[in-house]
Chains A and B, each alone.
Chain A
Amino acid sequence: MSGQGGSGIPFPAGWREVPMGAVAYKPSTLLHTGSWRLGLKPVVDEEKCTGCGMCHLYCPDGAIRLVDGKARVDYTYCKGCGICAEECPSDAISMVEE
């Protein structure tokens, strides 16, 4: 698994320490799925971006959101699928080599 394990509760843990039942006990935000990208990343042209927010609604990973009215990619999580670039109504996003 890529990304940090996080502080606090150890993983893997001994049988006396695992939280009971089958609880998942760390947030997946600790997993930096940005490392999945295969050489292409989305780049936002802020001049073309109208802040419509569609990219945020289409992204499977919540890796692009509006900040101060403009789309901003969170490269920590972006898997590089390209949906945002494909769908942007203003053609403001392009997939470029890293």
Chain B
Amino acid sequence: MVSGRKARRITLKDVLARRDLLYSGHRACAGCVSLTVIRQALKAVERPTIAVSPTGCAEVTTSIIPYTSWGIPWIHSAFENAAATAAGIEAAFRAMKRMGQVKEIPDIIVFGGDGGTVDIGFQALSGAAERGHDFLYVLYDNEAYMNTGIQRSGATSKYAWTTTSPAGTVIPGKPQWRKPIALIMVEHRIPYVATASPSEPMDLINKIRRGLDAEGPAFIHVICPCPRGWRFDPSKGIEVARLAVQTCAFPLWEARWEDGQLEFKLTGTSLAIAKKPELKKPVEEYLRPQGRFRHLFEPEKREDLIADIQAGVDAEWAYLLKRAGLA
């Protein structure tokens, strides 16, 4: 069952009137899109809410003792257990409600990076999803272990340079495709899964709200370009995210399971592209501004590798179109 709570669509006017629940003064890099995403997501808070983070950029930059940037209750316990910690919080409130000690169960939102979600945190996430805890897991995906110095993760794009998948003379960056974490979460048959981009904030904020309102586990995968790790000027973070969507390297969609049926829709720019395929930009436009793909262009242009990436993007796009019933 998706929404027990009647929620109207959040508008830009609503959002601009809401104060920030993430305080300024956090220690994130200038131009850090992951924290932009958290700021945007917290604009969707409408009920008592508790946040959880695993170890990572968002955790370290917002909680260096004695300073905190969290305007809602928040806990960090370890790296791989954010979903398990959230499950425990949810279970505690369930029991407290059953015992008549609280009236309602608060919204629980996890902000986890790709390292702590796709790799080391996957077991806890999968277990919590299987058990059906009522919480929203937001994956802020900057495609590497950024906090520890840009090491590759299962979410790193193919051929991207990272410090543990360097672009060398023999191996040109990460050899593997990204783990399709959002689609994996769809197959967990949880009530709500979506992808989002900070370049389309209202789409993101409303998805966060729908994820929080879903009765049961919800998962939202957000692309978070990282100026330091992806190697671009700090002012370009939102533009890179936009290009990811416009080239279909990161399509926007949402999926709901209801009564054993999967409802799968494209949203935002991705829906526009589905309707007008000529809007789809070649993936090269997304790769070119990023220093982590520089070796695909210099010293000589690697048409073969770029074509490989394009083929992967096209295959996934075709798959999503079919799933959305638009192919």
Contacts and interface: CB of A to CB of B under 8 A. Distances in A.
Direct contact of A and B (CB under 8 A): yes
Interface of A: 1, 3, 9, 11, 22-33, 36, 53-54, 56-63, 66, 74, 76-77, 79-83, 85-87, 95
A98 B69 CA distance: 27
B238 A24 contact: no
B196 interface: no
A30 B35 CA distance: 18
Interface string B26-66: 11101111111001100100000000000000000011111
B24 A29 contact: yes
Contact of B15 (A11, A28, A53, A86): A53
Nearest to B71: A27
A82 B237 CA distance: 10
Nearest to B76: A22
Contacts of B34: 60
The size class of the interface chain B forms with chain A is 35 or more
B265 interface: no
B68 A56 contact: no
Interface string B12-29: 100110001011111110
A63 B24 contact: yes
Contacts of A95: 235
B201 interface: yes
A80 B25 contact: no
A60 B33 contact: yes
Interface string B224-238: 000100000111111
Nearest to B28: A60
B113 to A, nearest CB: 15
Contacts of A25: 65-66, 68
A91 to B, nearest CB: 14
B67 interface: yes
A22 to B, nearest CB: 7
Contacts of B12: 53
Contacts, number: 120
Could you say which of A23, A27, A28, A85 has the most chain B C-beta atoms within 10 Å of its C-beta? A28
Contacts of B239: 86-87
A9 to B, nearest CB: 7
B20 A62 contact: yes
Contacts of A22: 65
B25 A31 contact: yes
5 smallest CB-CB distances across A and B, nearest first, come from A82-B235, A81-B31, A28-B25, A24-B68, A79-B30
Given A27-B68, A80-B30, A83-B31, A57 B23 contact: no
Contact of B66 (A9, A36, A56): A9
B121 interface: no
27 contacts: A3-B25, A11-B65, A11-B66, A26-B66, A27-B25, A28-B24, A28-B67, A30-B25, A31-B26, A53-B15, A54-B201, A56-B16, A57-B15, A57-B36, A60-B28, A61-B25, A61-B28, A62-B20, A62-B22, A62-B23, A62-B39, A76-B24, A77-B24, A77-B25, A82-B31, A82-B233, A87-B239
Contacts of B25: 3, 27-33, 61, 77
A96 to B, nearest CB: 14
Contacts of B31: 60, 79, 81-83
Instruction: Pick the most buried of A74, A76, A80, A87: most chain B CB atoms within 10 A of its CB.
Output: A87
Given A62-B23, A79-B30, A86-B238, 19 more contacts: A24-B64, A25-B65, A26-B66, A27-B69, A28-B62, A28-B69, A53-B12, A56-B16, A58-B36, A58-B238, A62-B22, A66-B16, A77-B24, A79-B31, A81-B227, A81-B237, A83-B36, A83-B236, A87-B238
